[in-house]
Structure 1
Amino acid sequence: MQLKEVTSYPNESHDWGEFVFSFSGVIELTVGDRTYLTPPHYGLWLPPQTEHEASTRSEACYCVLDIASNLCDRLPTQVCTLAVGPIIKAILADLMARQVDYPRDGDDERLMRVLVDQMSRAPRQDTYLPNSEDRALSQVLEALRQQPGDSRPLEAWAKAVHSTERTLSRRCQRDLGMSFLEWRQRLRLVRALSMLEEGLAVQAVALELGYSTSSAFIAMFHRLMGATPDEFRKRIVQRDGQQGPYNDSHD
């Protein structure tokens, strides 16, 4: 499925579980007061009866896998992001390429069982960006989602929303559980993952995200990811290369 820029879906829930994976671009899903993001190589698991809203701020190619409730017993009971390894990605790509909306035969059913098994073993990550219902702070967060490269200090943002730096700082800790700078850094990291996946040069990513030099961006990325942007990109290429397209043919 291809989503165009700034597409959104209303709040909804289902009797089945859903796994959302983006082959390119970043999907944002809001569950309660939390925003979860699915940059490349991460997928979001939504247990049955989870109310959520979905949106994207740039063009994205993604798939949504519906999983019957009786197959959800081995999967997490809470919303979480799952690291998508080469096997999961290959199966999803195969299903999408063949336009398989539901298992057509025994081969598809076995493939789905393998997929659920891989999902149950996948490392779970916490990559969400908390939201705030506070009128002033929510305006700041939304503006940054639109322009993550905006480097204005909290004092300037406070003036823009007719508040004070001290007030916004307290509300960040109360509503987000972190400082304003940490939240903005998380946002930039998630956007950086998507941009690097698309093949953008490190310097271009750094400038787009508000860093004055590439070295400052690389230092932030290495501190949070344990690898430089180039090392991260090479690791992705190597990992994907370890698993070819799924093939369930029989001799």
Structure 2
Amino acid sequence: MPSLPIDAVDHLPRPIIALGRSYPDGHVIEPHRHRRGQLISGATGVIVLATSEGRWVMPPQRGMWIPPAVEHRVHTVGAVSMQSLYLEPEAVPDLPAHCQVVGISPFLRALMSEALELPLAYDLTGRSGALMELIGHEMRRLPSLPLSLPYPAHGALAARCRLFVQRPEIHETIDDWSGSLGMSRRGFTRLFRRETGLSFVAWRQQACLLSAMPRLAAGEAVTTVAMDLGYENPAAFTIMFKRAFGRSPLAYLGLRNGAPAAALRGA
């Protein structure tokens, strides 16, 4: 598995370059951007990605799509063994223009593993070229997962959202926020939905649930995380989590019985 920064091999005339890197728990990659698009996959650990537009949380066995030239910051929770495909901007048409957490099927995961075994300057004809072409076809079918938190562009509201993400609390209200911003309740709710595409209540819930994932992946108890977020009890938190993501927190993160859940790979 080649363990090189993309800048060292970006010049290679290949539509897709496969690279692998390992990062320790708590590693931070400061804001940067790539000329190529990037598809990340990781079997363990959680990746938290932030841009000026929002925040994304990638649990184990999922993937992350980062379009070309998007500045982003990365933070790892738990040791992460990362597989990345770097794509020339026009290599695979019609990929999303914004960052997304995506499902990675077992088939695509196997293709990525095979790609990592190829020479960096692989033969564009024959099996190697066909493998990369097949990867491109599979990437057009990546399902988007609801693991993003949009940030508004409005300056004061964006600052308030970022402050909330640092210490989320499920019981903060529209009146709390509108008052702090010097706005009427009606004006605030209209602005919030226009800027984020979500109601305040839906955004607040998403912020709380996404903030919980890295903490749970790091080994904190569900009870501790739930109470810190302001839920009345762990059961209330778990019910809300299951409504949003279809599984209990530990099952969704592959932590049930201390082992990754194989069923999560395409979830």
Are 2:75 and 1:51 equivalent residues in the alignment? no
1:214 is the counterpart of 2:234? yes
Instruction: Report how far residue 175 of structure 1 moved.
Output: 0.8
| Preserved contact between residue 21 and residue 64 of structure 1 (Cα < 8 Å) | yes
| 3-state DSSP of counterpart to 2:153 | coil
State the 4+ residue runs in structure 1 displaced beyond 6 angstroms.
93-96, 105-108
Give the gaps of 5 or more residues in structure 1: 243-251
Q: For residue 78 of structure 1, what is the aligned residue in structure 2?
A: 97
- CA apart distance, 1:216: 0.9
The whole-number CA distance in structure 2 between the counterparts of 1:193 and 1:94 is: 30
> Of residues 164, 168, 174 in structure 2, which corresponds to 1:144?
164
Q: What is the match of residue 19 of structure 1?
A: 39
The question of whether the paired residues in 2 share the 8 Å contact of 1:137 and 1:168 is answered with no
Name the SS for the 1:121 alignment partner: coil
Percent sequence identity over aligned pairs? 22
Which deviates further from its counterpart, 122-131 or 110-119? Answer: 110-119
CA pair 18-5 structure 1, distance change in 2 beyond 3 A = closer
The letter of the residue matching 2:142 is A
Structure 1 residue 178: Cα displacement: 1.9
Aligned to 1:102: 120
Q: What SS does the aligned partner of 1:26 have?
A: strand
Q: Please report the TM-score for the alignment, with normalisation by the length of structure 2.
A: 0.67
1:126 CA displacement: 4.8
Q: What secondary structure does 1:44 align onto?
A: strand
Name the residue aligned to 1:9.
31
Stretches of structure 2 lacking an aligned partner (at least 5 in a row):
1-20
CA contact (8 A) 2:39 2:65 kept: yes
Aligned residue for 1:163?
182
The change in CA–CA distance for 1:192 and 1:69 in structure 2 (over 3 A counts) is same
Residue identity opposite 2:158 in structure 1:
S
Quick one: structure 1 residues 138 and 102, their matched pair in 2 at CA, closer, same or farther if it must change by over 3 Å? same
Q: Deviations over 1:140-175 (max 9, x none)?
A: 11012212346433333444x442461432321221
Q: Which residue pairs with 2:58 in the alignment?
A: 39
Are 2:262 and 1:238 aligned? yes
Deviations 1:177-227 (A, max 9, x none): 222221121122223344444454322332343323101101101111222
Equivalent runs, 1:106-117 vs 2, <5 Å: 112-117=132-137
Matched residues in 2 for 1:27 and 1:230: separation?
A: 18
Q: Is the 8 A contact 2:58 2:101 kept in 1?
A: no
* 8 Å Cα contact 1:154-1:165 kept in structure 2: no
Q: In the alignment, is the contact (CA less than 8 A) between 1:82 and 1:119 conserved in 2? A: no
Q: CA deviation at 1:107?
A: 7.3
Q: Do the aligned residues in 1 keep the contact of 2:57 with 2:101 (CA within 8 Å)?
A: yes
Match of 2:203 among 172, 175, 183: 183
Task: Measure the CA separation in 1 of the matches of 2:107 and 2:213.
Answer: 20
Kept after mapping to 1: 8 A contact 2:38/2:84: yes
Cα distance in 2 for partners of 1:176, 1:25 equals 24
For residues 108 and 218 of structure 2, the distance between their equivalents in structure 1, rounded to whole angstroms, comes to 20
TM-score, length-normalised on structure 1?
A: 0.70
Which amino acid is 1:163 matched to?
G
For residues 199 and 89 of structure 1, what CA distance do their matches in structure 2 show? 26
Partners of 2:209 and 2:199 in 1: CA distance: 16
Whole-Å Cα distance in 1 between the matches of residues 104 and 202 of structure 2? Answer: 25
More divergent stretch after superposition (165-174 vs 102-111): 102-111
User: Which has more helix, going by share of residues?
Assistant: 1
Go from structure 1 to structure 2 and tell me whether the alpha carbon gap of 1:107 and 1:195 turns closer, same or farther (over 3 Å shift): farther
Number of the residue aligned with 1:229? 249
Aligned 8 A contact 1:26 1:56 in 2 = yes
Distance 2:131 2:229 in 1: 40
